[in-house]
Chains A and B, each alone.
Chain A
Amino acid sequence: MNKFKVNKTIDEINARIRAGEAVVVTAEEMVGIVRENGAEEAARQVDVVTTGTFSPMCSSGAILNFGQTLPTIKASKVWLNNVPAYAGLAAVDIFLGGAEPAEDDPLNKVFPGEFRYGGGHVLEDLLAGKKVLLKAIAYGTNCYPNIMLEKEITLDDLPDALMVNPRNCYQNYNCAINLSEKTIYTYMGTLRPRGRNANYCSAGELSPLMNDPLYKTIGLGTKIFLGGGTGYVTWQGTQHNPGAKRLENGTPCRPAGTLMVQGDLKQMSARWIKGVSIQGYGTTIAVGVGVPIPILNEEMARFTGVSDADIITQVVDYSYDYSHGVTRNYGEVSYAQLKSGQIEVNGEQVKTAPLSSVVRAREIAEILKEWIQSGDFTLEKPVRLLPDS
């Protein structure tokens, strides 16, 4: 006996997508549909819910193969626009990390540093069609005699360019405040002293993993929107922590699940991959990701019907607690409260600001919806789901 009243398979949904009959809505639209019709009826009506998120995502980068030279080279150190890339892979394969600053960056020597250019900016420049200066040095071997290479390259010149992000799409994140006496500069932005502002970073009800909180449909092989092209979930992300504290609706109240994702950089666009400079912290990259969630049954309808008011996170002090591993928080707040612009911490009103773009997250969910509606994008059955414990 099946435990659900509505039962659909991914194959059935794909058949409807190919026939142009699939009903696709965004995660924001799904909130109202479930509220009005109930989960069971919503599951009958809707086939796919699209999600989206666009924000700085550390642990992102790209494997680039820059092609051989004549004579051949086995590059041992490589820079792109003076940003070091890791060359210890093979002769001309490199990994460029989104968070790598340019080699001559003054870093935090004059605090807080500006971190104007890094790996994320190189990828954005490549995607914008700009020329990037490639420099490589090598020690020279019989089979790879060349010891130096310097040339301008474009994305088209690269035989292969693969985005490989070991950790994206954090399922929930802390809301950061600073309870010290001086301004601090963190990856959660600039935090003024004595808890005068609070920053948070999640697309809330639009966020991919908030709509499949227990990983019932997302897994290895799930096809996604990545940086404007199509990509795949290829593993659970690093630091994936399914055991985080959860609400009854399944959503975690702490940083929890993560995704490792990959995709062809050449399909992507500079609109959805952006170099980011975080004052006093460093450079990183903003990545646009959208995941389609198949509505297989009323449980998935209920999950995707989650609203900002139903998702909560903790308020964490970043002046001491975070950096010293103190597991203490200053209360829990919902994303509806965070998005209202004001929360209460220790009895005082604190102004909030997001770091994650809701406008762009919505745009991604809309684009993915169009792709599916037009029949171009079908769903992929995962080979294995993400670990849920």
Chain B
Amino acid sequence: MYTRLFVLRFPKETSDLPIICKLVKQYNVEFNILKATILPHHEGIMVLEIMGHKSNVKDALAYLKSFGVTIERLSTIIRRDNEKCFECGACTGICPTAALHIHRPDMAVLFDPDKCTGCGLCVAVCPVRAMEVSLDQSVGAMG
């Protein structure tokens, strides 16, 4: 599945419209709202994770743009806190790219940042929260 994170800025005249919920129905994409500050009659900002077929995601973005929504791609940086990680291996069953994988036969759990797509699945699966996501700084400053 194609999964990407975006920062959307809604002009104030759109903040009352049910734009987002049409994404699922009309474009067959799923989404997670990671952060949203949208007040009626104000400009809104939303961090959205969109999942679906690549062409559907593209169409959904074009649809959003037609309302004057500006869209920025957001990259996530995932790092492992090696102090916290106790190399249990629970994350290796869920990581889709094998960025988190087990070295055999010693069963060490390794993390290869180059293979990581930033999907974030490991974050909640890790029992000691050793996998940390940090977003682009401009988003961190959104408040």
Show the binding face of A for B, using Cβ within 8 Å.
54-56, 112, 114, 116, 189-190, 192, 197-199, 274-279, 286, 339-341, 351-360, 362
Tell me the residues in window 94-143 of chain B with beta carbons closer than 8 Å to chain A beta carbons. 94, 102, 104-109, 124-125, 127-129
Dominant SS among interface residues on chain A: strand
Query: Would you call A351 and B104 a contact (CB within 8 A)?
Result: no
What residues of chain B lie closer than 8 Å to A199, measured between beta carbons? Answer: 90, 93
Show the binding face of B for A, using Cβ within 8 Å.
86-94, 102, 104-109, 124-125, 127-129
Query: Would you call A355 and B94 a contact (CB within 8 A)?
Result: no
- Residue in A116, A277, A279, A353 whose beta carbon sits within 8 Å of that of B89 in the complex: A353
Q: Complex Cα distance A112/B94, Å? A: 15
What residues of chain A lie closer than 8 Å to B90, measured between beta carbons? Answer: 189, 199, 353-355
Q: Complex Cα distance A360/B107, Å? A: 10
Given contacts A355-B88, A356-B88, contact A189 B125 (CB under 8 A): yes
What residues of chain A lie closer than 8 Å to B108, measured between beta carbons? Answer: 359
What residues of chain A lie closer than 8 Å to B86, measured between beta carbons? Answer: 54, 274, 286, 357, 359-360
Query: Would you call A190 and B94 a contact (CB within 8 A)?
Result: yes
Query: Would you call A357 and B87 a contact (CB within 8 A)?
Result: yes
What residues of chain A lie closer than 8 Å to B89, measured between beta carbons? Answer: 353-355, 357-358
Q: Complex Cα distance A56/B125, Å? A: 14
Measured CB to CB, the closest approach of chain B to A139, in angstroms, equals 38
Q: Complex Cα distance A197/B94, Å? A: 8
What residues of chain A lie closer than 8 Å to B92, measured between beta carbons? Answer: 353
What residues of chain A lie closer than 8 Å to B102, measured between beta carbons? Answer: 341, 354
Given contacts A339-B104, A340-B104, contact A279 B124 (CB under 8 A): yes
Measured CB to CB, the closest approach of chain B to A190, in angstroms, equals 5
